[in-house]
Amino acid sequence: MVDLLFYVAAALCVLCALGVVVSANPVQSVLMLLGSFVGISLIYLLAGFQFLAAIQILVYGGAIMVLFLFVVMLLNQGDPAVLASEQGLLSKAQLAGGLAVAGSALALLLAAVVRTEIPRPIFGYLWPEGGLDPLVGMAQAMFGPYVLAFEGASVLLLTTAVGVMTLAKRQRSKPSVKAAPLSSTTEGSA
Amino acid sequence: MNVPSEHLLILAAILFAIGLGGFLLRRNVIVVLMSIELMLNAANIVFLAGARQHASESGHWLPDGPVMVTFVIAVAAVEAAVGLALVIALFRRKQTVSLDQLSPTSD
């Protein structure tokens, strides 16, 4: 039963991921990506990683998806007129090349998985103790051997916050910047 | 769940390939960024499959896989934020998010 649920979640992931790539409307892409993340979170949950499943929903579903959706709305990407103007078909060669690269990557990865002998555990797959992922161990590792990476991540996040504000700020000093279509929409966020 | 690790890895491979295909084939920068998120998620699944496999073979959990996943999620958040800020800045200058029209050779 639980195993069946895994395959349902995996199918949801793959179908939604295909939807992200295929759908012409970016708003649809964002929503499809959200579905894919929910499926992945479900897989984490089934594998016993409750904390990571919650993080996946909170950070990806809550923060990153809202960011994407916000930018899509800000740039008017769901507008049919914008969609029609920017929708050019890929040439045959481009399509074939992209599909060939993606397909060969898939073949390579699948071959690597299939040809590797992964031993089945004798007593079945373990759940973390108490059904929770090894939180204590995770915390100890994060502030033990990984403390440098942890601090690096916090510095990275701080740098990003400052950098994004600098990047997205409207440059008022330059009158040559043509920001006419955005001037009304960015007033509130600036 | 008693799903063998191979199936998790195969799922990760499929998600990665879809992400790679979107990254290469789509022209909308926002969709390209979303494809990168898909590829990062595929990597996360591999980390967790490895952690689970190791725990089931040796009998005790190593925290390294889950820790790596949290780092990957942090980096993915950073990447999305910076990428979307760049998209907004580019849109202000060029009024488009199409990669074809943004490429330096197009004008």
The interface predicted TM-score of the complex, written ipTM, equals: 0.90
Name A50's Cβ contacts closer than 8 Å, sequence gap at least 6.
Answer: A44, A131, A132, A133
Chain A residues lying within 8 Å of B82, measured CB to CB? 160, 163-164, 167
CB contact under 8 A, B1 and A6: yes
- Tell me, what CATH number does B68's domain have? 1.10.287.3510
Name A161's Cβ contacts closer than 8 Å, sequence gap at least 6.
Answer: B81
Look at chain B and report how many structural domains it folds into: 1
Q: What is the largest CA-CA distance in chain B?
A: 61
* Residues of the domain holding B31: 5-95
CA atoms in the 13 A half-sphere facing the CB of B73? 28
Taking CA atoms, B92 is separated from A24, A171, B107, in Å, by 22, 10, 17
Taking CA atoms, A135 is separated from A54, A60, A118, B3, B17, in Å, by 13, 20, 26, 23, 31
| pLDDT tens track for A21-42 | 988 888 889 999 999 999 999 9
B103 in any annotated domain? no
CB contact under 8 A, B18 and A105: no
Question: What b/e sequence results for A149-174 when a residue is b if at least 16 CB atoms lie within 10 Å of its CB, and e otherwise?
Answer: ebeebeebeeebeeebeebbebeeee
Taking CA atoms, A10 is separated from A55, A99, A116, B11, B22, in Å, by 19, 22, 21, 7, 19
For residue A186, what pLDDT band results from cuts at 50, 70 and 90? very low
Closest residue in B to A165 (Cα–Cα): B85
| pLDDT tens track for B43-78 | 999 999 998 888 888 777 788 888 999 999 999 999
Quote the minimal CA–CA distance from A63 to chain B in Å.
8
Burial of B106 (0-12, 13-18, 19+ CB in 10 A): exposed
Q: For residue A183, is pLDDT > 60?
A: no
Question: pTM value?
Answer: 0.85
Quote the minimal CA–CA distance from B61 to chain A in Å.
7
Mutate to test the interface with B, among A38, A42, A52 (most CBs of B within 10 A): A52
B106 in any annotated domain? no
B41 in any annotated domain? yes
CB contact under 8 A, A47 and B48: yes
B15 in any annotated domain? yes
B107 in any annotated domain? no
Q: In angstroms, how far is the first alpha carbon of chain B from the final one?
A: 55
| pLDDT tens track for B5-27 | 889 999 999 999 999 999 998 88
Quote the minimal CA–CA distance from B41 to chain A in Å.
8
Separation of alpha carbons A40 and B45, rounded Å? 8
CB contact under 8 A, A182 and B97: no
